[in-house]
Amino acid sequence: MSDSKKYSLTEQLLFPSTHVNQEKLRNAVAHKTILITGASFGIGEQTAYRLAQTNVTLILVARTYEKLNQVKINAEKLGASVEIIAANLTNDAELNSLIEYLKNYENGIDIFINNAGKSIRRSVFDSLNRFHDFTRTMALNYFAPVKLILTLIPQLAKNKGQVINISAANVLLIPAHNSSAYQSSKVAFDQWLRCASPELRSKHIAVSSAYIPLVRTRMIEPTKAYDHFPAMIPDHVAKIVCNLIITRSRKHKPWWLIFSEIGSFLFRRRLEIIMENRNR
């Protein structure tokens, strides 16, 4: 089924259908090993299924073993070789255990898809006694992927591999209302990766960032305001990830994001005043 059949008219305009050339994808990932974090639900799960239809080895990481194991079963039915690791990447012991496993992985990792993430939408006034709102988002959205990439660099350089970061469109825009924990952590990793990219590319490691808008996953379910917002479906994002693997492009952005970026620059002060007034 095409993407457009799953979208409202507004969503069809904002998120035009994406096509993946299966032959090119198979050629791009044949006999390669791909690591996906946050692989048990949403974008990670659908990306695993898309890639499973090729001759590929998948290493899937997520917190929930039972759901991760079901993804493994489904992906293996599609033809992939799948290994799963249940790990909470905000837990130092579990993250370090994953790192030790990856260090000793035979032939190394070819592609790392950084998808795991934590979202939170809360006023700073509601976080006065919740410093963990910030430590947890930074742990998963920033420190974990940095530590994983530092571990994988020798393997990725040897294999002329690729890092794909599932970022958020709003990291390129004016800071969002009630998003100090989430947006700052996503911006931090996006900036780190952009700083590291020239060095990584000098060693033939491709770096790709997918600046994705709102996606209809369980991550946004606690925020009821998002129920009425246009949102992408996870499989559509999975197709975008597959095309980044094929092309090794540096970035993907929605066609309309450039206008939002210009608006954020030209009307920044006015937008800040609007947000200030909403909090009064």
Instruction: Provide the 8-state DSSP code for 175.
Output: P
CA angle 117, 19, 41 (to 5 degrees): 25
Residue 192: exposure state from Cβ atoms within 10 A (0-12, 13-18, ≥19): middle
Task: List the strands of the sheet with 206-212, edge to edge.
Answer: 81-86, 56-62, 32-37, 111-114, 162-168, 206-212, 251-252
Active-site option among 49, 142, 182, 211? 182
The count of other CB atoms within 10 Å of the CB of residue 227 is: 10
Joined together, the tokens standing for residue 146 give 């940095």
- The answer to whether 142 is a known catalytic residue is no
Question: What are the residues whose beta carbons fall under 8 Å from the beta carbon of 5, sequence distance 6 or more?
Answer: none
Q: Which residues are catalytic?
A: 182
